[in-house]
Chain A
Amino acid sequence: MATEIIMPKVDMVMETGTLMEWKKNEGDTVTKGEPLFVIMTDKAAIEAEAPESGILAGITAKPDDVIPVTTVIGYILAPGESLPEKAAAPAAAVAPAEAKPETPAAAAAPKAATAAPAGDASQVRATPLARSLAREMNVDLTQVAGRGPRGRVHKADVLEFAASHKAAPAMASVSAPATNVAVPLPDARIRQRISLKGPRSIIAQRLSYSWSSVPHIYETLSVDMSEVVRLRERVSPAIANATGQKVSYTAILAHAVARILSNHPGLNSSFNGDEIIQWEDVHLGLATSLEDYLIVPVIREAQNKNLQSVVVEMARLLEAARAKRLQPNEMSGSTFTITNLGMFGIEQFTAIINPPESAILAVGKMMDTPVVVDGQVVVRPMMTLTLAVDHRVSDGAAAAKFLVDLKNALENPYLLL
Chain B
Amino acid sequence: MSTEENKREITYLEAVREAMSQEMRRDPEVFLIGEDVGVYGGAFGVSKGMLEEFGEWRVIDTPISEAAIAGATTGSAMMGMRPIMELMFMDFVTIAMDQLVNQAAKMRFMFGGKVSLPFVVRAPAGSGTGAAAQHCGSQEAWFISTPGIKVVAPSTAYDAKGLLVSSIRDNNPVMFMEHKLLYRTKDIVPEELYEIPLGKAKVTREGKDLTIIAYSIMAVRALEAAEQLAQEGIDVEVVDLRTLKPLDVDTIVESVSKTGRALVVHEAPITGGFGGEIVARIAASEAFDRLDAPIMRLAGKDTPIPYNRILERATVPQVEDIVAKARELATEGK
In the complex, chain B residues whose CB is within 8 Å of the CB of A130: 292
Interchain CB contact under 8 A, B333 and A132:
no
A129 at the interface (CB under 8 A from B): yes
Closest B residue to A155 by CB, please name it: B292
Closest A residue to B294 by CB, please name it: A127
- Which of B288, B290, B333 makes the CB contact (< 8 A) with A156? B333
Interface 0/1 of A140-181, CB less than 8 Å to B: 000000111100111111000000000000000000000000
In the complex, chain A residues whose CB is within 8 Å of the CB of B332: 148-149, 154
In the complex, chain B residues whose CB is within 8 Å of the CB of A157: 333
Residues A147 and B290 in contact in the complex (CB < 8 Å), given A129-B260, A155-B260: no
Interchain CB contact under 8 A, B333 and A147:
yes
In the complex, chain A residues whose CB is within 8 Å of the CB of B333: 127, 146-148, 152-157
A273 at the interface (CB under 8 A from B): no
In the complex, chain B residues whose CB is within 8 Å of the CB of A146: 333
Interchain CB contact under 8 A, A154 and B292:
yes
In the complex, chain A residues whose CB is within 8 Å of the CB of B288: 128
B26 at the interface (CB under 8 A from A): no
Interchain CB contact under 8 A, B334 and A154:
yes
A43 at the interface (CB under 8 A from B): no
In the complex, chain B residues whose CB is within 8 Å of the CB of A154: 292-293, 332-334
In the complex, chain A residues whose CB is within 8 Å of the CB of B293: 127, 148, 154
Taken together as a complex, chains A and B put the C-alpha atoms of A149 and B292 apart, in Å, by: 12
Interface residues of B in 284-307 (CB under 8 A from A): 288-293
Interchain CB contact under 8 A, A128 and B291:
yes
Taken together as a complex, chains A and B put the C-alpha atoms of A147 and B293 apart, in Å, by: 12
Closest A residue to B290 by CB, please name it: A129
Interface 0/1 of B302-334, CB less than 8 Å to A: 000000000000000000000000000000111
In the complex, chain B residues whose CB is within 8 Å of the CB of A147: 333-334
In the complex, chain B residues whose CB is within 8 Å of the CB of A131: 289
Interface residues of A in 109-136 (CB under 8 A from B): 127-132
How many residues of A sit at the interface, in one of the four size bands? 10 to 19
Closest B residue to A148 by CB, please name it: B333
How many residues of B sit at the interface, in one of the four size bands? 10 to 19
List 15 additional contacts besides A148-B293, A148-B333; criterion CB under 8 Å.
A127-B293, A127-B333, A128-B290, A128-B292, A129-B290, A129-B291, A129-B292, A131-B289, A132-B290, A148-B332, A152-B333, A154-B292, A155-B260, A155-B292, A157-B333
B327 to nearest A CB, angstroms?
15
Taken together as a complex, chains A and B put the C-alpha atoms of A153 and B289 apart, in Å, by: 14
Taken together as a complex, chains A and B put the C-alpha atoms of A147 and B288 apart, in Å, by: 20
Interface 0/1 of B266-297, CB less than 8 Å to A: 00000000000000000000001111110000
B286 to nearest A CB, angstroms?
11
A90 to nearest B CB, angstroms?
32
Taken together as a complex, chains A and B put the C-alpha atoms of A157 and B333 apart, in Å, by: 8
Interface 0/1 of B180-202, CB less than 8 Å to A: 00000000000000000000000
A404 to nearest B CB, angstroms?
46
Closest A residue to B333 by CB, please name it: A154
Instruction: Give me the 3 closest cross-chain CB pairs, A-B, nearest first.
Output: A154-B333, A148-B333, A129-B292
Closest A residue to B293 by CB, please name it: A127
A136 to nearest B CB, angstroms?
10
In the complex, chain B residues whose CB is within 8 Å of the CB of A129: 260, 289-292
In the complex, chain B residues whose CB is within 8 Å of the CB of A148: 293, 332-333
Taken together as a complex, chains A and B put the C-alpha atoms of A132 and B292 apart, in Å, by: 10
B311 to nearest A CB, angstroms?
29
In the complex, chain A residues whose CB is within 8 Å of the CB of B334: 147, 154, 156
Taken together as a complex, chains A and B put the C-alpha atoms of A155 and B291 apart, in Å, by: 9
A225 to nearest B CB, angstroms?
47
